[in-house]
Chain A
Amino acid sequence: MSFFSFGQSAEIDVVLTDAETRKKAEHKTEDGKKDKYFLFYDGETVAGKVNVTLKNPGKRLEHQGIKIEFVGQIELYYDRGNHHEFVSLVKDLARPGELTQSQTFDFEFTHVEKPYESYTGQNVKLRYFLRATVSRRLNDISKEMDIVVHTLSTYPELNSSIKMEVGIEDCLHIEFEYNKSKYHLKDVIVGKIYFLLVRIKIKHMEIDIIKRETTGTGPSVYHENDTIAKYEIMDGAPVRGESIPIRLFLAGYEMTPTMRDINKKFSVRYYLNLVLIDEEERRYFKQQEITLWRKGDVVRKSMSSQATIGAQRFEGSKSSVSSMLDLKCRA
């Protein structure tokens, strides 16, 4: 921002080399709006041009150096001052001097590591951006361009089903089963609920998908729970021996891959919450974590030479466990 009407000023803009061909992805901004940004994957090169356009042609622009940075950072909303940069690359485009006319500078950040997925949440934001800066004595001229990064995975080798028996002693015993423990974002949850004992008057049953964002460490940990979906799977009173099928398509919901302890700053985890409601509106529920991952689209020729699909390691998941009395009741 320049208070003086005399002197020279300039506009900067950043243009990617592959702006015509590169795909864009939608991403939510902090105030909830959706915008489109260029989509990158881990290992891809980020290249383009920085255009510095002088506002008053004919006048010289003195500067302390021109550079472009590629930054990946985590920003906690309750601690805005501190940005945690986990990727920070810089290319100097011009040494301190002066520009007599508008100029364009090429840049290339080769095979940049982008270890985490872009995320805008309730209390935390992880973003990647290019920042071109013309340094000056009094005030810099700079421009940021956000990009979006997706982390891809392939089908996990180990993906056991989740099967458990839970209940309240002498009142309600059920066995629930979900066909996998790891689902990709366009996957289908196939499962069933089997009733072993029904001594309460159930009215209906639903499955909720809950997203839990955890920020902070040690004594100050914040959990933000958000119910992404509520899906009724049964209407009416079941009896012993009945089996209720579950078929829940995930593609319809806005979700991100599971993020565990990203740069030791935050986590985003997903849970299936099975809820039974009785005739007096009492709720009986059982929560179970699932792992979500992002499947790559069919790899196009232009990308295969650059993209390195990150292989994520998943922890081993629980196989069938029998445990009773794990169903919680809330009046």
Chain B
Amino acid sequence: MSDPTVADTRRLNSKPQDLTDAYGPPSNFLEIDVYDPQTVGVGRNRFTTYEVRMRTNLPIFKLKDSIVRRRYSDFEWLKNELERDSKIVVPPLPGKALKRQLPFRGDEGIFEEAFIEERRVGLEQFINRIAGHPLAQNERCLHMFLQDESLDRNYIPGKVQPSSDPEARCA
């Protein structure tokens, strides 16, 4: 056998890319916005809710555009459910800010505008990180959090099966 002195470094052959694939919308579109903080209730029974809007083209989510209202404790619930049921390392939530809930503060405590904004940013980062995780996308609690009108805390935890999806079958 001849002993080639220079290796062949030419590219391997590959299928030319379909132009609709090349220029079409990517299959990984997932954006979640956490915005519009509203403080509801009066006096000591006040709490803040945020609008959580998800836009996606991932087949695993039933709705491609969904809007729900959630409060901080709902995010905590989601974090706990995922920590218990899924194998992923759940990212941290913005702080609970217990100090801000103590009386005799000079300011509005947890209803300070700057604090709410800081918390909103943290919640948005949290939910985007979680929702993009392939293993979290199978969890029923995530789907309920993002797309059901309200959280049923007595739900039965479980996995979501992806609906039959032509794109998932490989060439």
Q: Could you tell me which A residues sit within 8 Å of B by CB distance? A: 155, 165, 168-173, 177, 179, 187-188, 190-192, 194, 196-202, 237, 239-243, 245, 247, 278-280, 282, 324, 329, 331
Contacts and interface: CB of A to CB of B under 8 A. Distances in A.
Interface stretch (B21-29, B63-71, B95-103): B21-29
B9 A247 contact: yes
Nearest to B57: A199
B27 to A, nearest CB: 5
B12 A191 contact: yes
B168 A197 contact: yes
26 contacts: A168-B134, A169-B162, A173-B170, A187-B7, A188-B9, A190-B8, A190-B11, A192-B14, A194-B14, A196-B171, A197-B167, A198-B26, A198-B27, A200-B132, A201-B30, A237-B26, A239-B22, A239-B24, A239-B26, A241-B17, A241-B21, A241-B22, A243-B15, A280-B129, A324-B170, A331-B135
Contacts of B94: none
Contacts of A170: 59-60, 162, 165, 168
B87 to A, nearest CB: 9
Contacts, number: 89
B27 A240 contact: yes
A215 B8 CA distance: 36
B165 A155 contact: no
Contacts of B18: 240-241
B93 interface: no
Contacts of A242: 17, 21-22
B135 A329 contact: yes
Contacts of A191: 12
Contacts of A240: 18, 21, 27
Contacts of A192: 11-12, 14
A177 B26 CA distance: 24
B58 interface: yes
Interface string B34-59: 00000000000000000000000011
B17 A280 contact: no
Nearest to A168: B134
Most buried by B among A172, A241, A245, A329: A241
A171 B1 CA distance: 45
B89 interface: yes
A173 B17 CA distance: 16
A314 to B, nearest CB: 15
Nearest to A296: B3
A197 B170 contact: yes
A198 B134 CA distance: 11
Contacts of B11: 190, 192, 245, 247
Interface residues on B, range: 35 or more
Nearest to A202: B28
B3 A331 contact: no
Q: Closest 3 CB pairs between A and B?
A: A243-B14, A241-B17, A241-B21
Interface in B74-125: 88-89
Nearest to A172: B134
A28 to B, nearest CB: 26
Given A198-B27, A279-B132, 18 more contacts: A155-B3, A170-B162, A192-B14, A196-B170, A196-B171, A197-B170, A198-B26, A201-B28, A237-B28, A239-B27, A240-B18, A241-B21, A242-B17, A242-B22, A247-B9, A280-B129, A329-B134, A331-B89
A230 to B, nearest CB: 20
B127 to A, nearest CB: 12
A243 B162 CA distance: 27
Contact of B134 (A188, A196, A200, A239): A200
Contacts of A201: 28, 30, 132
Contacts of A165: 170
B12 A179 contact: yes
